[in-house]
């Protein structure tokens, strides 16, 4: 199984086969407009601007599962992201990434990766919040928070997972390696 086996909904509720991205390097990200990590949109857009012509795509999946930090409609989220951060990469409909209502793409991503650990000072605080919700968080592949990233190689395979606190320089380096 590869990422190309999945169909998702865009932010207008249209079906999109991920086979449309065949041969590209992807960064799949669950996002939120009211999160402490929301400013990552700026760095993600910068990475997208620099690397898109080389075959790089960011697929943005808003998610409201972590402290209700993406409460808006798909239209409101799109307007916020394009207005405040000038994002131009594809954004999809708001989804669940964990639990019974998780979309099949995220079930596949989380069943085939493991938690990578939190980094830095922000990681210490996030660890306390996540541990209160999931005492076994270190030992399962569930998405822990907004802005978890999955790098996908040109063949549609999972190449890396990055937790929200991962340095975006490391993420970019991995993307460049895959390109």
The CA distances from residue 11 to 67, 78, 110, 115, 135, in Å, are: 21, 8, 22, 28, 34
User: What are the backbone dihedrals phi and psi of residue 31, each rounded to the nearest 5 degrees, phi first?
Assistant: -125, 170
pLDDT in tens, 34-59: 999 999 999 999 999 999 999 999 99
Which of 155, 178, 110 is closest to 2 using CA atoms? 155
Write down the pLDDT at residue 120.
85
122 versus 60: which is more confidently predicted?
Answer: 60
Catalytically annotated residue among 18, 25, 29, 35? 35
pLDDT in tens, 92-150: 999 999 999 999 999 999 999 999 999 987 898 899 999 999 999 999 999 999 999 99
Domain boundaries, the chain: 3-178
Round to whole Å and give the CA distance between 56 and 167. 19
Strand partners, 58: 27
For the question of residue 35 being annotated catalytic, the response is yes
Round to whole Å and give the CA distance between 156 and 22. 7
Any idea what DSSP says for residue 18? G
Query: CATH says 3-178 is which class?
Result: alpha beta
Write down the pLDDT at residue 116.
95
pTM comes to 0.97
Q: Is the pLDDT of residue 175 over 90?
A: yes
């Amino acid at each position: 199984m590869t990422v190309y086996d999945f169909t998702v909904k865009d932010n207008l509720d249209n079906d999109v086969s991920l086979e449309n991205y065949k041969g590209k390097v992807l960064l799949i990200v669950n996002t939120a407009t009211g999160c402490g990590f929301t400013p990552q949109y700026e760095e993600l857009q910068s990475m997208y601007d620099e690397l898109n012509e080389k075959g790089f795509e960011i697929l943005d999946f808003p998610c409201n599962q972590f402290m209700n930090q993406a409460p808006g409609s798909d239209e409101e989220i799109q307007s916020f992201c394009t207005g405040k951060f000038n994002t131009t990469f594809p954004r999809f409909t708001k989804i669940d990434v964990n639990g019974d209502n998780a979309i099949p793409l995220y079930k596949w991503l989380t069943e085939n990766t493991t938690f990578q650990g939190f980094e830095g000072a922000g990681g210490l605080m996030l660890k306390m919040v996540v541990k209160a919700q999931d005492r076994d968080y270190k030992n399962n592949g569930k998405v822990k928070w907004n802005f978890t990233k999955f790098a996908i190689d040109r063949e549609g395979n999972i190449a890396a997972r990055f937790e929200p606190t991962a340095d975006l320089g490391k993420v970019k380096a991995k993307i460049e390696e895959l390109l």
